[in-house]
Amino acid sequence: MIEVERVDYIAVPTQDVERAKRFYGETLGLPHEKDTPVGAEYRAGQVTVGIVKSADVGLEFAPNPAGFALRVPDVHAACEELAGAGVELTEVYDTGVCRLAFFSDPDGNRLVLHRRYAP
């Protein structure tokens, strides 16, 4: 068994690095960490979101349908802000434990706005 301390980064495939940089940096407002030879890196809390041009690392592009969740203070407010920037989102779902809404980046990678409110 290995000891995992935390998740350091997640890789997000793209076909267009500049378009992905505009989405993650400008639309979502994630802080830019650095550009890389195959894309760019953005900070999402304690995790680095690594934008990777699939073709540059020898992979066929395929969007991630499972995606990852971004914890936000208020899901409804975050949805309104993103909708105002032209992002299409699902309705806000309340599971009895958390609120969440789904959306996709320009490459079709799934993302979730999420806030757990129950212990």
Residue 89 is predicted with a pLDDT of 98
Residue 107 is predicted with a pLDDT of 98
Nearest to 22 by CA among 110, 91, 112, 87: 87
Q: Are 96 and 112 in contact (CB under 8 A)?
A: no
Residue 17 is predicted with a pLDDT of 98
Residue 82 is predicted with a pLDDT of 98
Q: Which domains does the chain have, with CATH numbers?
A: 9-116 (3.10.180.10)
Residue 29 is predicted with a pLDDT of 97
Residue 5 is predicted with a pLDDT of 95
Residue 111 is predicted with a pLDDT of 98
Interval 29-88: pLDDT, tens? 999 999 999 999 999 999 999 999 999 999 999 999 999 999 999 999 999 999 999 999
CA–centroid distance for 93 within its chain = 18
Residue 18 is predicted with a pLDDT of 98
